[in-house]
Structures are given as C-alpha cells and as structure tokens.
Structure 1
Amino acid sequence: MQIDLPVIWAAIIGLGVFIYVMLDGFDLGIGLLFPFFEGKGEREVMLNTVAPVWDGNETFLVLGGAGLYGAFPVVYSTLLPANYMPLMLMVVGLIFRGAAFELRAKATRTQHAWDLAFIGGSALAAMCQGIVLGSLLQGIKIVDDKFAGDPFDWFSPFSVFCGFGVLITYAALGCGWLILKTDGELQRKMRQLMRPLTAVLLGAIVIVSLWTVLGLPSVEARWFASGNLGWFLPVPILVLVCVVSIFRSVRLQHEAMPFLLTLAICFLGYTGLIISIWPYIIPPSLTIWQASSSHSSQLFALVGTVIVLPIILVYNAMQYRVFRGKVREGDAGYH
C-alpha cells in the first residue's frame, strides 16, 4: 500500500507553522508590548527574556517555507502572487525587528530610534501574517493551477481584521511569556495588562469566527451543512474555558498558566482553521493532492526531514532548558 505522502507533508508543514506561531509569536508580542513600557531597564529585561532563543524560533518559518516549496510547489504559483505585497512587507518587518534587536544594545544616542524600529517591525510582521491568513480563508481565485485574481485581492476588511487578530494574539502570548519569565514590579504590570489583552483577544476570536462561518459560504457549509457540528462544538467551548482560566490564573498569581493557556487558545484556533479548510491547501479549489509535487520528490525530501526535524526540535528544547528561570534587571544579558 502506497503511503499518502501529501497528508504526511501537510502534517509536517502544519506542525512547523504552528510551532513558529507559538514560539516567534511571543517574541513578536514583546515588540508589540514595548510602547506600554518606556523605562530603559524594563525594556532591557523584556528583550533579555528572548535574546537567547529568538533566532532559533524563526527556524520553523524556514522549515515551513522550504517544506511548502518542496512538497506543494503549486502553492508558490498561487499563494505568493496573491499575497506578494503583504509577504514582502512581512519580510521587511522581520528584517527591521532583527536588526533593531541586535543594534539597539550597542546604540547610545539612537537607541530610541531602534526601539521604534523594533516596535514597527514586530507590528508590521504580525499584521501581514494575519492579512495573509485572512486572504487564504476568504479564498484565492485559481485557473489552471495559477493565480487569476487581482494583485490587491488580499486587501479586504476581513483580511485586515485578521491582521488585527494576530496582533492581539501575539501581544497576549508576549504578555504571558513575560509573566512567566519576570518578577517584581514588571511582572505585576504584566498581570494587569493580561486581563484587557485577554478580553480583546476573546472579542477578536468571536468576530473572526462569526465572520468566517457566516460570511464565507464554503466554511459555513463545512461547519453546518456537513452534519459534523457536534464534533466542532468543543473548539469554541474550550476557547471560552481557556479565557476564563486565564483570568482566574492571573487573579491567583500563577506564573506559567497564563502563557500555557494562551498557547492552548492558539492551538484551538489553529485546529479551527484546519477544520474550516481541510483538505484544501488553497481554498476554495486546490487540495493538497492537486498541489503536490511528484511522489519521488516528496519521498526524497521526507528522508531528509526525518533526519533534520528531530535535531531542530532537540536543539530548541535544549536552548529553552539552558536559559530557563527568571530574568531580572541588572542581569548580564545575552547580547
């Protein structure tokens, strides 16, 4: 019996994208939280919590992109032309964020300018990721396996609001991470900020969910007309449970739970996305099997991935283990 390689590759790429969102999400979120904390010492502590790990976090973006190119090359002739501008702006944002991260520590008179670059780069990258997600959900026009729409089809109220939703999600992840990694006055301020961020995040989830289910016919059919609604109901119920639990954990001053519960919300949202579009990799017409490269190409790439992926996972796990514990003002840092 032949192995269904497209399904395996869809799982690998899906895993890579989720780990990227989970890990790079909180360090992008720290950039989004910078405007709320103007003290130099507080900002240094915030950056030092991710300084040892942020490079490794982006490894999974490379994994997802390379896997997509090798396993589903048709996606590059459809998704990329449909989203050239937001994808290029995302890369620009990541460049500014990375450069600012390294250079602000060595700057004196221009440190404030690099802080602005760090904030702007983080916001631009997060916003553009959400816009691409919204563009994917609303559907991409394809003819003969090629993009046949307008260059600005990606720009719509729905995709822009998805960008806003990703901004809020990353900010909440960053806040949860900083509750875990800091103490004292900075941790107290993060606990205060976590409550309104969680409330806004819940509102964004409700609006995007209703907009997706009621405004996009293909998704509405998947959720309501297929008879599978009973299987899908746990997703929104569990999201609500997580939100209530975040408020409770903040009130009880738990340190790890706000971050872990925000990660759980991200996972539930990701499963909702998969439920809404499966088995289409480019809704509403291109399935994972239609977009696949040849069986031999996918098998060759899979052999390399089976070797490399465990190494990447072990490396990332080790760096978080080595740099575990609290980060405080006055620590040497990792620049």
Structure 2
Amino acid sequence: MKQIVANIILFTLFITSVSFYNPTIEKVELLSVSGLNENDTADYSFIKTHQLYVERWDTLSQPNFWRTLMNMHHDSALINVSSTRQIIKKVALKDWNSLSEIDKECFRDSVRSYYFLNPEDRIFVTNGRKFFYDFDNVMPYISRGITVFKQNNVDPFYAQAILLIESPNKLQKSNVGAYGSFQIMKDVAIHLGLKVNKYVDERKDFDKSAWAAAKLIRTICIPELNKILDAKGIAYNQNDIWYRLMVMHVYHAGAGNVKRVLDVINPKEGNMELITTLWQTEAGGFKNASQNYSQLVLASMLELDEIIYNRCNTLSNIGF
C-alpha cells in the first residue's frame, strides 16, 4: 500500500512539474495523512510545497548537507566547506577531537589546497543533529500549529517551518533566552500579549505560543519585509518560496539585520539567487546562524516529505 501511495505522489509531482507555469496549478497543498507510525491511526495535517521540487530547491547542496546531518548521530561529523556546505569527509567525532590543533589546521589547509579554495575559506566540522531534529516528536504538533495560523489568517507554511527547526525534540530555552515551541524571546512575547514573569511563562503553552508567533509574522515580519523590498523596488509574490524564506529570516534575525544584509547584496529581484547569495553574506547580526536558518527550513521540509511518503498509509489533499 505504501509503495502505491509513493508511486501516486511521484506521478503527481511529475504532472505538477510539467504544468507548473499554468497559473491555475496550486503551488501549496494541505495534506491529511494517517498511518505514520505503527499503532497510530490519527490523522495529521501537513503542508506540501511543490515549488521545492519544481524550482529545484531540493538539489541545492546546503539543504542536502543539513538533511544528511539530520539523519546522523551526534558522535559523527561532516567535514565541510562552510560557504557551499560541500561535504569533504564523514568522521567519528572522537577521532577528530583526538587530533592536536596543529593537525586539525594542517588537515584544513590540505582541503583548501586539494579543492583549490582560497586561504580564507573556512572548513567546518559539524556533528550529527539526529538527536535534535526529532520529527516523530513534533509531527503531532504541526497540525495544531497549522490550525492556529489559519485561524489568524497567516500562511500555515510558517507554522510548519518553525516547528520543524526551532525546538522539535523537546521544550527548551535557547542560549539567548528564546523559549517554547516557537522560540519567542521574552520581550517579544510580552509585546505580543503573552504573560511572562517569575510566576508564569505563557510561551510554554503551545496554543498561546502559536498564536503569538502567528501575530508576530502577520504584524511585524511580513510588513517589515515588504517595506524593505518596496524600498529596493523588488517585486514579490507572498506565495513564492524565496519570499517565505525571507520572512523566516526576519522571524529569526530581525528586520534590521535582514535589511543590513540586503543592503550589502543590493539585489535587483527576488529569486533563488537572492537566497543563495544571502547564504554567503554577513552583515550586522546576520552571521552564520542566520545564514543557516533558511537552509534548515528547506532541509526539514524536504525531510518531512520523505518521511510522510515512506510511512503513510493514506494521504489526501484537503485544500489550503
């Protein structure tokens, strides 16, 4: 049965790809899925974004790098070129850590020499992230997030994206103080109407946190991004992948830092090239973690698609 479902999905994607430039073709679907796990008969809702495949976002090296890490345990690591996320070698983390700093730098220099890289190109060693990206844990919450975002007239793509990458394995506080399933900062949460004090922290409440995140995107992230793009004369469609990824960058890094990095890039139009250039550019507080953010959005969306189509017993389109 699962193989039949997978074949139907592949055929649907092919037909959609062929017909993509027909404006009547939907770029996003809301799917109802059941049978994801053994003895679990519940129905879950997920967002399916055809643009990821039609526009070939799934072929980019950066999201595929993160997908590899999402399936690796933390005791393994990938040696990679930071600018492109080209994977050089998979290593046991204990073996790498046993090397002296001199030996590590010699290895990095040998990589630069072999691949004709510049001396300033950084070579990273990034450990597996399977422990963090626990999609089985977060999948039941995605349906709830989608519902809250739709009730607030906010694109549910953002609910799914945030839940997949911000805190998918457990409720936790970041090193900068963001907390809850949607990783909202304390001051931002209070501004949005949540109670956060020494007695109560409503960021812990999933539905209230989802409501606040939807409000943040609707009233701040999208309007501020539109101002930035309008000032630069860049046309946009809010349903395009590149635009949605830019909204996610505003959610993570703030509008000020996104404006700074776009001032450096000085783009003439919005497209995939803008996003991939942004991955190579730093400005203000927009640094490596910010560059990674949309890469992780893409990787997690692609990974979720694969999980659904490999596991589900039934799948249906319930609109958007």
Using structure 2 for the length normalisation, give the TM-score.
0.26
Higher helix share: 1
Using structure 1 for the length normalisation, give the TM-score.
0.26
Higher strand share: 2
